Amino acid sequence: MRVYPTAEQAAVLNRMFGCVRLVWNTVLAWRQARYRAEGVTTSYAQTDRYLTELKRDGGHDFLYEVSSVPLQQALRHQYMAFVNFFAGRVRYPRFKSRHGRQCATYTRSAFSWKDGRLHLAKVNGPIEFVWSWPQIDPATINPTTVTVSRDRDGRWYAAFAVETESGPKPLPATGGQVGIDLGVTHFAVLSTGETIPNPRHLERKARNLARYQRRMARKQQGSNNRAKAKAKVARAHTKVRNARADFLHRTSTRLVRDHDLLVIEDLNVKGMVRNRSLARAISDCGWGEFRRQLEYKTARAGRRLVVVDRWFPSSKTCSACGHLLTTLSLSTRHWTCPGCGTRHDRDVNAAKNILAAGRAVSACGADVSHSGSSRVRSAVKQEVQPARVGIPSL
C-alpha cells in the first residue's frame, strides 16, 4: 500500500535505508574475503557477531541511531540469498546500490499496529497510508512483518505479511484446455483461434521517455534540477511497468479461470534478447513474468500448467495430419500442408500443436525435455492422425 511519511519521517527512513545498504555491502564483502582467504562459508550467527563488532569499532556509531531490527533482517535475507544460490534457485547475491529501490524490513519487535495505525521504531508519530482493501477493516489484521520501501520515482510503499488460517480455495473445474503461442506481433495466440493483442507499453511511451531523458542529460551533474528530471524519468518508467503488470495479471488470471489445462512453450528469452533488432520488443512483452504468473496462479487455483520443450517444432507440424515440414522461414505467416492440403495460420497452428503436446504429456507421461521431444511428436501425431481419416479421437 502507498504510505506518505512526513519530511522528518522520510529523513529517518532514508537514514535507515543507508544503514541497511551499508551493513549488507560490508558483510557481503567480508564474507567474500573470508571465503577467499580461508575457504570457509559464513553462517548467520557469525555475521550477527560481525555486525556487533562493526558497531563497536568506533567508526560506525551512526548505526545506533536507527533500529537494529532491519539491520539484522538484512543479514537474514543475505543468508537466505546464499542458501538459495547454492540450491540453484537464484543467482549470486550482489552489492546494493543507492540508486535503485530501497527497503527495510521490521519485525514485531520493531513496529506496532494498533487500531489501524502504523508506528515504526525510532520514527516519531504514526505513518500515514492509504488502505487498499475496503472489504477488510485494517484494525482486524495482525501483521507479522512490515517492509517499507521507496522506489526510484520517490513513491513510498509498505508491504505487510499476515498469517491466514487457510489459503486460496481451488477454482471449480471448467473442462477447458488451451495452448498458448507467445509472440511479438500478437502477445499470444490461443489454440481456440483467439488472438491477444500486444499492447506495446514501452513503444507507446517511447517519445515521452526520450524527451525526459534529453532534459535530464542537459542538467548539471549533482544539481537539484537534475534530480527532479531524473525523478520524472523514473515516474515515466513506473507508468510503463505498472501498465505492463496490469495487462499480464489480467490476461493470466482470465486464462487460469477459464481453463483446467494450460500449455505453453519453454522460450529461451535470455537468448532471444541478444538479437539487437528485437531485444526491446521482446523485453516489452514480459514473457518471463507471464510464465511466472501462470505457474503460481495455476498451482493456487488447482489447475495444471504444462511447459513444452523449446525444440518441439510446433510451427512446422501440421495440426491436422501431423506432417512435419523440413524448413519454415520466420517470414512465412501462412502455409499449406503438402500432406492433407490444410491451410494454416502459422501462430494458430503452433498453438494447436502446443496444446496437443500438452495433452500427450498428460496422457502418456512423456517428459518435455529435449530428449523427450521425439516421444512427444509421436504422441501428437497419434492424437491428430484420427481426425484426418475421420475416426473419432479418444
How many Å apart are CA 51 and CA 44, to the nearest integer? 11
Quick check: 377 and 385 in contact, CB under 8 A? no
Q: What is the pTM of this model?
A: 0.83
DSSP-derived pairing of the beta strands 261-265 and 304-308: parallel
Whole-number percent of the chain with pLDDT over 90: 68
Reply yes or no on whether the pLDDT at 394 is more than 60.
Answer: no
Going by pLDDT thresholds of 50, 70 and 90, the confidence category of residue 311 is confident
pLDDT in tens, 252-273: 999 999 999 999 999 999 899 9
pLDDT in tens, 157-191: 999 999 888 778 899 999 999 999 999 999 999 99
Please state, rounded to an integer, the average pLDDT across all residues of the chain. 89
How many Å apart are CA 177 and CA 263, to the nearest integer? 8
User: Which active-site residues does the annotation give?
Assistant: 181, 265, 347
Quick check: 92 and 83 in contact, CB under 8 A? no
pLDDT of residue 387: 38
How many Å apart are CA 265 and CA 179, to the nearest integer? 9
Reply yes or no on whether the pLDDT at 388 is more than 50.
Answer: no
pLDDT in tens, 38-87: 999 999 999 999 999 999 998 999 999 999 999 999 999 999 999 999 99
Quick check: 317 and 323 in contact, CB under 8 A? yes
Q: Give the start-to-end residue ranges of the domains of the chain.
A: 2-162, 177-306, 309-394
Reply yes or no on whether the pLDDT at 280 is more than 70.
Answer: yes
